[in-house]
Amino acid sequence: MLQQAVLEMTAEERSKAAYFKVRDGDTLDDVAHRLDALEAEGIRYVLIDKITLAKDFIDGASLFSDVYAMSGMKIVLSGTDSLGFWMSVNQELFDRAYLFHTSFVPFREYSRLLGIEDIDEYIRYGGLLKRGHADFDDPRANEPDASFKDEESTRLYIDTAIARNIQHSLACCRDGRYFRHLRELYEADELTNAINRVIEDMNREFLVSVITRDFKSADLGVAKNAMRSERNPTRRRILSDMMDIGSVTAELMRYLDIRNADRQTVKVTEDHVAEIREYLEKLDLLVPCQVRHVSRGRELSPTEQVLFAQPGMRYCQVEALAKSMLKDATFLRSNPAERSSVSERILENVRGRMLEEIVLLETMAANPRPRDIFEGREVFKLMFESGEFDMVVRDLKTGTCEICEIKHSREAVDEQFRHLVDSDKCAQVERLFGRISARKVYYRGPSFSHPRGVDYVNVENYLQRMGDR
C-alpha cells in the first residue's frame, strides 16, 4: 500500500520520496539517523514500514511530529501492531497524527481482491486477505498460511497476530505500566494462553446463544412442521424418530460447560477478561453494537452486543467446538442421521447469526456514529417484548428509518418479514425513531419487491456496494 501511494504521486513528488523498513532490533535513534540523511538529500515524503518493530516507538513517537514534520517532512508510518499505534496516537502523537485502520477486511474488499462472491466463503474464511481451503482446484488453497483452514491454524494466528500484538505493545509502553492486572499473567508466560481462552470463551458463548436461542427457536419448529407434511414417508419417519429437541439442547449445554471447565488451566479473573476484551476492541477485532429495547411504546436502557470483525476466526472455532461436542458418548449412541441433522442445524444457524453480525458491522462501518442529534445515521438492533428487528438504520436529518431482517436463506418466505409488517411494532418505531421509509429483508436470493411493501435485497450485492454510499 505504501509503494502504491508512491506510484500515485506526481513525478516531482516521487523524486522527493523515500521508502524504508525498520528491522527487528532497530531503535528510534536508528530511524532518526536515516531521516537526517534523507532530509539532507532533499527528501520530503517518507514512508516507513514496520515502525512498531522499534521497541521505543510508542514512548518516543513524538520525534516524527515535533522534529521532522515541523521541518516540512510528510511522514507515513505503517506496521502490524495496531495496539501500539493506538497507544502512540493517544499519547505521544495525540492530536498530531491521522490513524487509518486496515485490520478489518470487509466483504467488498475480500470479494474484489480474491474474486470470491459467495458470502458463505467469507463467513468461513473471511477476515484476512487470504483464501480459504474450500476450493481444492486452486493451487493456493492448500498453502500453509491459508486463512483459518483448521483449528490449529486459527490458534496459531491468535498467538502470533493477536496475542503477540497485545504483549509487544504493552511491554513497549511506559516500561509496561499498562499491563495493569495482566502483568501477573505476562510474567508467568501465561498471557497468550489467557488471550486464547478469552477469545475461545467468547466464541463458546456465541455457540451457546445459538443453541439456546436459534436451535430451540421457531425456525426449527417451522422445519419440523414442514417435514411432518413431507410427502416422502421416509423423510417423515426420520423426523418423527428424531430425539427430543429439549433434551438434545440440554445435553449440548451440559457438554459445553464440562468441556470449558476441563480446559481451564489458567486462573483468569473478571479483571483479566475485561482488560483483554478492551485491548481486543482497540485491535479492531471486537466492535460494540448498540441493542435498543422497546416495551409498551417506551424505550428502555440500551444494552450492547459484541460483533467479531474476523468471521473466519469465529466460524473455525465454533465449527470445531460444535463438531467436537457431537463426539460425546451420548450423541455417538444416536444414529448417523440424527447426528448429521443436529450438526448441520447448529452450523446453519451459526452461519445465519454470523451473517447478521456481518451486515450490522459493515453497515455501521459505512455509517459512523453521528456527532449530534440533528444529522447522521444510527445503526442498531431493536428488541421488543416479543420479536426483534435485526437492524434499524435511522436517519436523524430526515427523521426516517429503515427496518430490516437478515436471513441466511436463498428462499423468500412471507414468514421472514412478519415482524416488519407487524402494525404494533411499526407504530412503536415511528413514535420513537421516526417515519419508516423502507422495510427490507437481506437474504441470499435475487432482489425483488414484495407486494406487501417489503424489499428483498441480495445480501452479497448489498455488501459489495457498501463503499459506493
Q: pLDDT tens-digit profile of 104-149?
A: 899 999 999 888 899 999 999 888 877 665 443 444 444 555 668 7
On whether the CB atoms of residues 382 and 292 are closer than 8 A, the answer is yes
Tracing cell 460447560 back to the chain, one arrives at 257
Q: Where are the domains of the chain?
A: 2-89, 152-283+310-352, 367-468
Identify the burial level of 225 via C-beta atoms within 10 angstroms of its C-beta, where 0-12 means exposed, 13-18 middle and 19 or more buried.
exposed
Taking the mean position of all CA atoms in its chain, how far away is CA 115? 21
**∠379-388-198 over CA atoms, to 5°?**
70
DSSP state of 264: -
Q: Are 321 and 203 in contact (CB under 8 A)?
A: yes
Global pTM?
0.83
Please check the confidence at residue 62 and state whether its pLDDT lies above 60: yes
Pairing of strands 286-295, 298-308: antiparallel
Of 79-88, 174-183, 285-294, 318-327, least confident by mean pLDDT is: 318-327
Q: Which residue has the higher pLDDT, 145 or 458?
A: 458
Closest by CA position to 268, among listed 184, 205, 389: 184
Model pLDDT, residue 320: 84
Residue 403 pLDDT more than 90?
Answer: yes
Outline where 98-143 has alpha helix (H): 107-114, 119-125
Least confident of 96-105, 173-182, 275-284, 291-300: 173-182
Mean per-residue pLDDT over the chain, rounded = 84
In this predicted structure, the answer to whether residue 374 has a pLDDT above a threshold of 80 is no
pLDDT of residue 236: 47
Confidence of residue 221 (pLDDT cuts 50, 70, 90): very low
Question: Could you tell me which residues are beta bridge partners of residue 405?
Answer: 441
Level-2 CATH architecture, domain 367-468? 3-Layer(aba) Sandwich (3.40)
**Residues 82 and 90: beta-carbon distance below 8 Å:** no
Grid-cell match 417423515, residue found: 236
**Of residues 227 and 92, more confidently modeled:** 92
- Assigned C-alpha cell, 359: 451486515
Strand partners, 378: 394
Report how far residue 103's alpha carbon sits from residue 467's, in angstroms, rounded to the nearest whole number: 17
